[in-house]
Amino acid sequence: MKLSTVLVSVSLCVASLSFSHQANANEQLAISLCEYIAADDKSSLRKKLKSSRVKIRNIFDAVLCNGNNMLRHAIVSNAADAGEYIVKNLPKSTLADGAEIAWAEGNGHSGSPLIAVIKDRAGL
């Protein structure tokens, strides 16, 4: 009886440690991506995504930088190169609703060069 309790306890501890390690890795990836976007460092952004074996289209909704998605963070940071890279790697259907353009215009970023890139990619 005591042996099974010990085994269950040890199993739970090991499982929780391995899960927190994965969560920390994902959090560190998100922080790095946000920093590269803010610095308009397209090359480092691309390398980090490639080395992590992650595609922008798969993490776009999950990664938030200062409360904004990666594209909005690029618009706020005036990161034209990184923003264009993000736009080109997103599916057209993600941009087709015009939500990113409406957000940018509503928040005083209508002069951003990324607006034209988004419109071109989405076909708006």
- List the chain domain ranges: 2-122
Task: Work out the number of other CB atoms within 10 angstroms of the CB of residue 118.
Answer: 22
Give, for all 124 residues of the chain, the pLDDT tens digit.
554 554 444 444 444 444 444 556 678 888 888 888 999 899 999 999 999 999 999 988 888 888 889 999 999 999 999 999 999 999 998 888 888 898 888 988 888 888 989 998 888 7
The C-alpha atoms of residue 86 and residue 35 are separated, in whole angstroms, by 14
Bridge partners (DSSP) of residue 68 are 65
What is the pLDDT, as a whole number, of residue 7? 46
For 55, how many CA atoms within 13 A lie in the half-sphere containing its CB?
6
Q: Give residue 99's pLDDT.
A: 87
The structure tokens listed for 113 are 């060069």
